[in-house]
C-alpha cells in the first residue's frame, strides 16, 4: 500500500473512533452513594494578613481517596476537585470567621478501578457551612452541606445528581500558627494556605 494511502487510512480510522467532528462520547452518569476520605488545601491569593483590604481569591483543591460506595459507585476509588471564589478582603479575621469557604459550586472528577467503567464527573453545590473548633484544644473544622446537581452547562447529567452532599474538613493549622502568619510583616511568610487533614476529613453523597 502506498505511503499516502496508509496515512489517509490511519487518519480516517482515528476520525471514526472519535465520532462526528471529533466529538467524544459522553460518559454515563453514576447512580448510588459514596463516601471518601479527603485531603487538600485552601489557598489564598494574595495571602491573608491582619487588617488586609485587598480582594483575595480563595481556592479549594481536594483529593478524594479510600472511597467506598453502592450501586455504580462500587468501582470508584477516588476523585479530584477544584473550586474558587473571591472574597472582598484579605483580612484574616474576616475571611477565616466567615464560612463562605465551605460553600460554592465545583466539578468533582471520579477515578475508578483500572479496566472498569468510567463515570461522568459530579457537579457539587454546597449551600450551607458552619465553622467549629478553636485551633487550640480542638482543631478548626468546616462542615458543609448541599447536593449533586445537574449542571446546565453540561451535555449530560452529572453523576449522583440529586444526592445529598456533606463534607467535613479538619484544618491542620493551629490557632497559634495562623496568628503568627497573619501578623508576619514578611509577605513571603503570610497566610497563603490552610491544610485539610486526612483521614479526619470526609466527603459523602447519599440518596435523599
Tell me the average pLDDT across 88-105. 84
Give the pLDDT confidence of 17-45 residue by residue, as tens digits.
333 444 567 889 899 999 999 999 999 99
User: What is the share, in percent, of the chain residues with pLDDT greater than 70?
Assistant: 83
Question: What's the chain's length in residues?
Answer: 208
pLDDT at position 200: 96
Strands 164-170 and 32-48: unpaired
pLDDT at position 152: 62
pLDDT at position 6: 38
Q: How many Å apart are CA 16 and CA 22, to the nearest integer?
A: 8
Which is higher by pLDDT, 135 or 10?
Answer: 135
**pTM (predicted TM-score):** 0.82
Give the pLDDT confidence of 148-172 residue by residue, as tens digits.
998 666 555 689 999 999 999 999 9
pLDDT at position 3: 42
Give the pLDDT confidence of 38-54 residue by residue, as tens digits.
999 999 999 999 999 99
Give the pLDDT confidence of 98-137 residue by residue, as tens digits.
877 667 788 999 999 999 999 999 999 888 889 999 999 9
68 SS3 class: strand
Sketch the domain layout of the chain as residue ranges.
Answer: 26-206
Examine the pLDDT at 92 and tell me if it is beyond 50: yes
Secondary structure letter of residue 135 according to DSSP: S
Which is higher by pLDDT, 82 or 21?
Answer: 82
Closest CA relative to residue 142, chosen from 85, 105, 184, 196: 196
Which is higher by pLDDT, 124 or 10?
Answer: 124
- Bond into 196 cis (ω within 30): no
Which is higher by pLDDT, 13 or 191?
Answer: 191
Examine the pLDDT at 84 and tell me if it is beyond 60: yes
Dihedral sign computed on CA atoms, order 165, 77, 85, 200:
positive
Examine the pLDDT at 196 and tell me if it is beyond 60: yes
pLDDT at position 95: 92
pLDDT at position 110: 97
Amino acid at each position: 500500500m502506498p505511503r499516502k494511502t496508509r496515512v489517509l487510512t490511519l487518519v480516517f480510522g482515528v476520525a471514526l473512533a472519535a465520532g462526528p467532528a471529533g466529538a467524544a462520547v459522553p460518559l454515563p452518569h453514576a447512580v448510588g452513594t459514596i463516601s471518601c476520605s479527603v485531603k487538600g488545601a485552601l489557598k489564598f491569593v494574595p495571602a491573608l494578613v491582619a487588617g488586609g483590604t485587598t480582594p483575595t481569591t480563595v481556592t479549594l483543591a481536594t483529593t478524594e481517596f479510600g472511597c467506598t460506595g453502592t450501586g455504580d459507585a462500587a468501582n470508584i476509588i477516588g476523585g479530584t476537585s477544584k473550586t474558587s471564589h473571591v472574597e472582598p478582603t484579605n483580612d484574616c479575621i474576616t475571611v477565616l470567621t466567615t464560612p463562605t469557604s465551605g460553600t460554592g459550586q465545583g466539578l468533582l472528577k471520579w477515578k475508578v478501578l483500572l479496566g472498569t467503567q468510567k463515570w461522568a464527573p459530579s457537579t457539587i453545590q454546597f449551600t450551607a457551612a458552619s465553622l467549629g473548633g478553636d485551633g487550640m484544644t480542638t482543631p478548626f473544622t468546616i462542615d458543609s452541606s448541599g447536593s449533586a446537581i445537574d449542571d446546565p452547562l453540561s451535555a449530560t447529567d452529572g453523576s449522583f445528581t440529586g444526592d445529598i452532599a456533606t463534607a467535613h474538613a479538619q484544618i491542620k493549622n493551629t490557632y497559634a500558627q495562623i496568628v503568627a502568619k497573619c501578623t508576619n510583616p514578611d509577605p513571603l511568610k503570610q497566610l497563603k494556605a490552610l491544610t485539610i487533614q486526612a483521614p479526619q476529613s470526609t466527603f459523602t453523597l447519599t440518596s435523599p
